[in-house]
Structure 1
Amino acid sequence: MDKLKKVLSGHDDDTTVLQAVNEASTLSWGTRMKGFVACFVLGVVCSVLGVCLLWLPKIGLILFIVFYTFGNITSLLSTMFLMGPLKQLKRMCDKTRVVATILLLTFLGLTLCSAFWWKNNGLALLFCILQFLAFAWYGLSYIPFARDAMIKLFSLCVK
């Protein structure tokens, strides 16, 4: 905060205003962890609530789709607290996970489109399942060798 005051008062010439504002606005590690946990827990609660609401007559499927998709989006955004938004977006576009990211975002959008625009519940449910699989594959990309282990596991099951 002192650095920001120096820059704004004109006493610090070697630091730009943008650098000072960036330094002043960064979150502490404790705040980042609290934000991550809060967003992640909210995402998981919304996803579980969506699954519970699936069994309601007439509107259950729509509520499931909304809560489940919102839960996935919230869980995805929670990781931005750990790394920061720009670094997270760069990591999402790494060559090892760009396909999973594109599939995840595509299935998120298609789930909502099929539920509200096309009003096709069967297609919405299919896209929800694909959304889950894409999110799992995306999540595995952050664990070293996890994808390779899953591929070996499924190849053993197929034989």
Structure 2
Amino acid sequence: MDKLRRVLSGREDNEELGLTAQVLDASTLSYSTRVKWFVICFAGGILCSILGTALLFLPSGLKLFAVFYTLGNIAALASTCFLMGPLKQLKRMFEPTRLIATIVVLLCLVLTLCSVFWWGKKGLAIIFCILQFLAMTCSFLHLKSS
């Protein structure tokens, strides 16, 4: 399996690895483990978002909706860390072609919670949730296109 990984990553068999590379190779997750945790995290994010939407119709459900919807989007965003690794994902998120979508996603995540808990503006929270959805969709489309 290590030989296949070296071939797919472009490393030669006779190439010696440094200590840092050896530690990183020893601590990486297998492909099947990455996919499993991606699915678990992404499904958990979708479940949180759906639960938040269902809680919206309770008397004080807007706060719960904002929290669960935001947690769902964070979990969905974090799920891709399992596929490509956190550093590579951060580098890709802040590439010039994705920078605006990334800033809008992060800003809307914070502003949704601020509008519910500190400002008490329900309509503004709904607008920020819609913007979260649109920015996350744009962000995922950019990640997939690369």
Same-fold call, TM cutoff 0.5: yes
Change (3 A) 1:14 1:136: closer
Displacement of 1:14: 6.5
Mapped to 1, the partners of 2:141 and 2:22 lie a distance apart of: 36
Change (3 A) 1:82 1:135: same
**Alignment RMSD:** 1.7
Q: How far does the alpha carbon of each residue in 1:139-158 deviate from its partner, in whole angstroms, 9 at most, with x for none?
A: 2213449xxxxxxxxxxxxx
Question: Of residues 10, 13, 18 in structure 2, which corresponds to 1:15?
Answer: 18
Aligned ranges 1:106-145 → 2 under 5 Å: 106-144=107-145
Taking structure 1 as the reference length, the TM-score comes to 0.77
Change (3 A) 1:102 1:15: same
Q: How far does the alpha carbon of each residue in 1:22-59 deviate from its partner, in whole angstroms, 9 at most, with x for none?
A: 111100000000110000000000000111111011x2
Paired residue secondary structure (2:29): coil
Mapped to 1, the partners of 2:38 and 2:95 lie a distance apart of: 22
Structure showing greater radius of gyration is 1
- 2:106 corresponds in structure 1 to 105
Paired residue secondary structure (1:141): helix
Unaligned 5+ segments in structure 2 are 1-15
Paired residue secondary structure (1:124): helix
Change (3 A) 1:98 1:14: closer
- 1:86 corresponds in structure 2 to 87
Q: How far does the alpha carbon of each residue in 1:121-143 deviate from its partner, in whole angstroms, 9 at most, with x for none?
A: 12111111111111111122134
- 1:156 corresponds in structure 2 to none
- 2:40 corresponds in structure 1 to 38
Q: Which structure ranks higher in relative contact order (CA pairs < 8 Å, sequence separation ≥ 6)? A: 2
Mapped to 2, the partners of 1:28 and 1:112 lie a distance apart of: 36
- 1:66 corresponds in structure 2 to 67
Moved more, 117-126 or 94-103: 117-126
Number of matched pairs: 131
Displacement of 1:20: 2.6
- 1:53 corresponds in structure 2 to 55
Percent identity over the alignment? Answer: 57
Taking structure 2 as the reference length, the TM-score comes to 0.84
1:39 is matched by which residue type in structure 2? C
Unaligned 5+ segments in structure 1 are 1-12, 146-159
Paired residue secondary structure (2:62): helix
Mapped to 1, the partners of 2:105 and 2:141 lie a distance apart of: 13
